[in-house]
A and B are shown apart, each in its own frame.
Chain A
Amino acid sequence: MRWWQRHLAAILVGLLVIVMVANVLGGSRWYLLSELWSGTQTLSGKVIWDMRVPRMLASVMVGALLAVSGLLLQTLSHNPIADPSILGINAGANLALIVGGVAGLSSSIFNTVWLSITGAFIAFVVVMGLALSRQGVAPLRLILGGTVFSGFISCISYAISVMTNTTEQYRNLLVGGFSSSTYGQDKLLAIVLVIVVFGVWRFQSGFTLLAMDQQTTRGLGVSTGLLWQVAAGLIVLATAAAVAVGGNIGFVGLGIPQLMSAIRPGSFKQNFGVTLLAGGVFMTTADLIAKAAVPSVELPMAALSALFGGCLLFVMVVFGRQVVKV
């Protein structure tokens, strides 16, 4: 093992701190480091503490949640290409939020949470139902069914918002982004993050064993049914919370776990921590690019993330990693 593989977690923590600070300072206007301590009385202090800090926190946590739910989904389905966005789980949460909004529900945090959880859950059940065969989850059916279903749902989301003239209102949901993040949303994300991390930690040995073939896993005494339910619950919760705050951001769940296992191959237990951190680093960096790359224009996060994910998928295919296990 190289030194950077051994100290990967420490390196990621360092990176995370750097990008968190950079994210707060950067934007349409860059602040100086010293202005962080200027207090909330001044204008720059207000902007920093009331807008940029909650936004930065949201991006860190959404990135971590999406990366972890991708890792869980890949472990469950025995498929490195599985991702909540590819399987339509993001899109389901998204559609539910838009339908709820159009139907006149106020966009309180409570409403967004239950709406997105319901949407994500229904989408998850539908896609898993499509993928189930007598031998368990068929990987190819999962990916194909999920992709088609995801596209279908996204179309409905767009259609509804176009027909009701609400594309501007739901811009954040449709293209993803953190420009309107609040401390309330951060609190929600923090609660979900704690639940997800605790759940994964509690069942980590089981999840680690799921990476082996089904027969071996069962032989070792893993009750796969229980683990499936726990993992499904955590995936839906993590994805729903991420979508409720950050909108429909794809490919993080695909790319980050892939990247980590390429840098340092290992079991679920070994990769969980670094995947969590790397998700946060990636999303915070992407958010900084989204708000600072082009002055006074907010780049769509979904596009940025897809750009990165698309490139990664391309590299994976070109360099011959086995993308779909059949």
Chain B
Amino acid sequence: MTENMISAQHLSAGYGHHVIINDQMIQIPTGKITGLIGPNGSGKTTLFNVLNGFEKPLAGEVRLSGHTVSDLTAKQRALKVACLCQHPTAPDGITVHELVGYGRYAHHVGLRHSKKVDSRAIAGAIEAVHLTTFTNRQVSSLSGGQRQRAFIAMTLAQDSPVMMMDEPTTYLDLTNQLQILSLLQELNQTLNKTIVIILHDLNQAAAYCQHLICLSGGQVKAVGTPREVLTQQLIADVFQVAAEVTYDQNQDCPQMLNCHPLEVVS
């Protein structure tokens, strides 16, 4: 049995009286890339925001390596989970080095912090995302893919065991999408990060995630490896899409072909 970095039983989440996730069990395995998939409005972002501690669950609790997430202070939480939202914005006129340095905030206690440790972490993070030659460039002068990598470096500098990202590839072209996903794979392998990502592209989710959680209408519909989760039946049930599912030589990476919608919604 694999160990779980994050786990929650009987978890309910939502806003005010509006319950979106109702009484679900969620487990995020340690050291793997977990993908959250599901159609729009299925509760992915709501789940994302309780797992990372931004919102308190309506019922149940999220346990993160032995701690209850909602009991942690903002800084304690940030030391365990680094989070990148969909459209991060940076102030004008700052360099990549400064942006990545923001990731060190949670490590600063009062006004005391080690400049040495900070600058080593910053340089390491910039190197890990292959932006070393851009260290002193303005963030605003970078291309979309480079900027996203700079933000990933910022979350890396946070030096937390878990990294969570909400659709890290939106608005990027295909090359950059694949580069970002490969980068996450690299970070997972070399730095042993537990990574949770929300993805829309099922083929990318199948190729880059080792574990998938499929949500629909606030319910967990399927959990497991891509091969276990992404079946023709599930794609039809959850996404209302007919697709042929093929597999690569190793028989573990399903790919969807010839997709078309089952019902045309007027």
| Chain A interface (Cβ < 8 Å from any Cβ of B) | 134, 202, 205-206, 208-209, 211-213, 215-216, 218-223, 261, 264-268, 270
- On whether the beta carbons of A216 and B94 are closer than 8 Å, the reply is no
Among A206, A215, A268, the residue within 8 A (CB) of B83 is A215
- On whether the beta carbons of B85 and A205 are closer than 8 Å, the reply is no
How many Å from the CB of B156 to the closest CB on chain A? 12
Q: Which residues of B contact A270 (CB under 8 A)?
A: 93
Question: Which residue of B15, B76, B93 has the most chain A CB atoms within 10 A of its CB atom?
Answer: B93
Q: Say which one of B59-67, B97-105, B169-177, B219-227 lies at the interface with A.
A: B97-105
- On whether the beta carbons of B111 and A267 are closer than 8 Å, the reply is no
Does B7 sit at the interface, judged by CB under 8 A?
A: no
Q: Which residues of B contact A205 (CB under 8 A)?
A: 105, 108
Closest to A220 in B: B105
Given contacts A219-B82, A222-B105, contact A267 B88 (CB under 8 A): no
Q: Which residues of A contact B86 (CB under 8 A)?
A: 215
| Chain B interface (Cβ < 8 Å from any Cβ of A) | 15, 52, 54, 73-79, 81-94, 98, 102-103, 105-106, 108, 111, 151, 154-155, 158
Q: Which residues of A contact B151 (CB under 8 A)?
A: 216
Q: Which residues of B contact A268 (CB under 8 A)?
A: 91
- On whether the beta carbons of B93 and A218 are closer than 8 Å, the reply is no
- On whether the beta carbons of B93 and A212 are closer than 8 Å, the reply is no
Closest to A214 in B: B85
Q: Which residues of B contact A215 (CB under 8 A)?
A: 54, 83, 85-86, 88
Q: Which residues of A contact B87 (CB under 8 A)?
A: 213
Q: Which residues of B contact A264 (CB under 8 A)?
A: 93
Closest to B155 in A: A219
CA distance A129 to B154 in the complex (A): 34
Other 20 A-B pairs with CB < 8 A, given A219-B81, A219-B155: A205-B105, A208-B102, A209-B102, A212-B90, A213-B85, A215-B54, A218-B54, A218-B74, A219-B82, A219-B84, A219-B85, A221-B77, A221-B106, A221-B158, A222-B74, A223-B74, A264-B93, A266-B92, A266-B93, A270-B93
